[in-house]
Amino acid sequence: MITNLLLVEDNPVNVEYIRALLLNIENDSLEQNRFIGNIFVALTLKEGIETLNSKNIDIVLLDLTLPDSHGLKTFQVVQNVNDRVPIIVLTGDDDTALAFDAIHQGAQDYLVKGKINKTLLQRSIHYAVERMNILKALLDSQERYSIALKATNDGIWEWNLREKKMYFSPRWKEIIGYAENELGSEPLEWFDRIHPEDVPEVEGIIADHISGQTRNLVSEHRLLHRNGTYLWVRVHGLAVLDKEGSVKKIAGALSDITGEKLIDSLTGLPNISLFSDRLQSAIQRRIDEKDFGFVLIKLEFEQVKIITTTYGAAATNEAIYSVVTRIKTCLKASDTIGRFEGASFGIILAGVHDILNLNHILDNIQIHASKPFLLNGNSISISTSMGIVFSGDQYKISEEMIRDADAALQKAMSNGRSNREVFESEMRDRSLRILKMEADMRHAIERDEFFLLYQPVLNVEKKKIDSLEALIRWKKKDGSVLGPGGFIPIAEQSDMIIRIGAWVIEESILQLQRWKKQGLDDISVAINLSARQFLNRDIVGYIKKTLSISGIHPDRFQVEVTESVAMRDIELTKKILQDLHESGVSVSLDDFGTGHSSLSYLKQFPISKLKIDQSFIRELPDDLESAAITSAMITLGQAIHLKIVVEGVETMEQLKFVEKENADYVQGYLISRPMESEKISEFIQKFDYACYSKD
């Protein structure tokens, strides 16, 4: 029994969640032995130290980021107060490296907030206390060490460095499949069984501990089982010194964590490693039994990134868990569902041979996945796209099927949300082309292959050019030039869009600096933000920082976001637009008329311009329907005090029409095609509006 547990955590939501889990464990244990006696909560490090000094604490759950302390220092302070109390570190998804540093300095374990469940918490506490008891017994007396050895479920080991011999407990041997009277006492009985890829890291960890660089020896590595498979094990150890301060032996515990490594901690589903093993078994059965068929589905939960940006990682985990729980009700016991990473999952449907049999199952999955649920008081729904592969003689290994399912999924997602595609061989070729293009894009920034063209925008009232739209192009090694439509959609599927977007921001602001030095300081530049850029929580800060460093006033810089992107998440859009507005950067809503925005939302968005899509301009002025729609949109925008930019003006007749309708700005080939930055200054100086106003 743990008499007193100390939870040091400043977030009230996390406190109540962990307290509820602990009480839930307590209720499960009442009929046997009480698991925890008292739970003490401290909101600051200072309060935690006071509790640790005044109470007989058995274990500490410690958040490393507190109001009065941050990082590894938080752990070190608690450990210095009482180094014999086991500490479990609480960390976020982004701080696991910091948690490992704490473990190497003596923490018994770490838990990722947002992924903690009752089973994981109970197991972590149980083994942390067990391991600390073993290490304390080792330091105190051989007799107490023997008692602790018998009580633990871990495998105990002791390495006499001087005699170069090792003791392995019966449980240690049992974990890797051997009997008590098997295995010798040579260190190679252990080290020769370590997976070759893990050997260098294990050797480094041991060397660091012997040299005194780490307080505790902690390692997670793969160990060969008697049956020929590898187990994942976690090793904790402690060096024992002689009177001269030299290490004479190291002793500790080894536990089998294969289950943890193969099971996703959030959903309890097989992770990609275990899922791949089960897929391989299904492939082998298909090879052995020709009448056996199955289907592999790779599915992606959409809107997850938006949920993370809006509500945080914990809410995202809650959403994923909720959707997975519902999908599981659509599957048979013989089916397998596993989590690959993030919002990507795989499903193996056994006994399915054709699309007709499959469609009902897929419909059911998508319907259940998309049912709304409450998240932070808001109704949220998640759409699901799928890539589908039927088993066949061409598949021999699981990686091939997963590769083709991913190709089908990418094709489905490129067509919008809630889509599904059955794999065809052409998709593999497309995937290879995409992979090559992604690799080429990564080198394109280093090789300066991207460049910007600038298209002038006419201010109708002032009869002058006072703004430009920056348009990216890619000049490839073979000399061909790609417009954004040729590579931006692919960049959107990877992190390249963030890097390319950052380059566009920096380059356009640098160009404003160059023009300013040339005396052209009253011109502004607008850039286009893609969906991933716009919904990135760091975008506003990055723009502000770049402008501040450059010395360019924010009113010289504009951003454009399409109507469809703005409408993806209304609340997040409002927040980002408000932040941009407050920073002095104006925003235009691009491609207006092609999306689904309403007047009520437009009034809520702090934008300055509407850009009417060129599709409405092409048939002007002859097409009466296009003329009526364009006129209505101009009137609508100006009624809510927005400036109107008409795109795609290519004829004098179109210019006269939009002038008559009192549009504020005009952009199109009639005014100018996009041009190199070197030509802009001369073009603006020589621009004569009178040339466009002649009858």
Separation CA 520–CA 511 (nearest Å): 11
**Dihedrals φ, ψ of 168, to 5°?**
-120, 125
Residue 196: φ, ψ to 5°: -50, -35
Per-residue pLDDT at 10: 87
- For all residues of the chain together, what is the average pLDDT? 84
The answer to whether the predicted template modeling score (pTM) of the entire model surpasses 0.85 is no
Q: Is 80 exceeded by the pLDDT of residue 540?
A: yes
Contact indicator for 410, 421 with CB cutoff of 8 Å: no
Angle at 587 between CA 584 and CA 591, to 5 degrees: 175
Mean pLDDT of 404-418: 84
Neighbouring C-beta atoms of residue 34, cutoff 10 Å: 11
Select from 54, 23, 53, 17 the least CA-distant residue to 39.
23
At residue 668, the 3 state secondary structure works out as: coil
Phi, psi of 668 (to 5 degrees): 160, 175
Q: How confident is the model at residue 147 (pLDDT cuts 50, 70, 90)?
A: very low
Q: Band of the pLDDT at 142, cuts 50, 70, 90? A: very low
Residue 175 has pLDDT above 90, yes or no: yes
Query: What sections of 458-495 are H helices per DSSP?
Result: 488-491
488, 471 contact by CB (below 8 A): no
CA-to-CA distance for 615 and 266, rounded, in angstroms?
Answer: 47
Q: SS3 for 365? A: helix
DSSP string, 47-62: HHHHHHHHS--SEEEE
Burial class (CB in 10 A: 0-12, 13-18, 19+), 8: buried
656 sits in which H/E element: helix 652-660
Report the pLDDT value the prediction gives residue 317, as an integer from 0 to 100: 85
Q: How far is 408 from 386, CA to CA, in rounded Å?
A: 7
Q: Are strands 464-475 and 481-482 parallel, antiparallel or unpaired?
A: antiparallel
H helices present in 211-271, as ranges: 258-262
The whole-number pLDDT of residue 29 equals 47
Count helices and strands (H / E) in the chain: 27, 28
Q: What's the rounded Cα separation, in Å, for the pair 495 and 510?
A: 23
What average pLDDT does range 221-238 have in this prediction? 89
- For 481, residues 6+ apart whose C-beta sits below 8 A from its C-beta are 473, 474, 475
Rounded to whole angstroms, how far apart are CA atoms 276 and 280?
6
Higher pLDDT, 101 or 453: 453
Cα–Cα distance, 209 to 202 (Å, whole number): 11
Pair type for strands 87-91 and 59-63:
parallel
In tens, the pLDDT along 313-331 reads 778 888 888 899 999 999 8
Higher per-residue pLDDT: 439 or 470:
470
Cβ(469)–Cβ(519) under 8 Å?
no
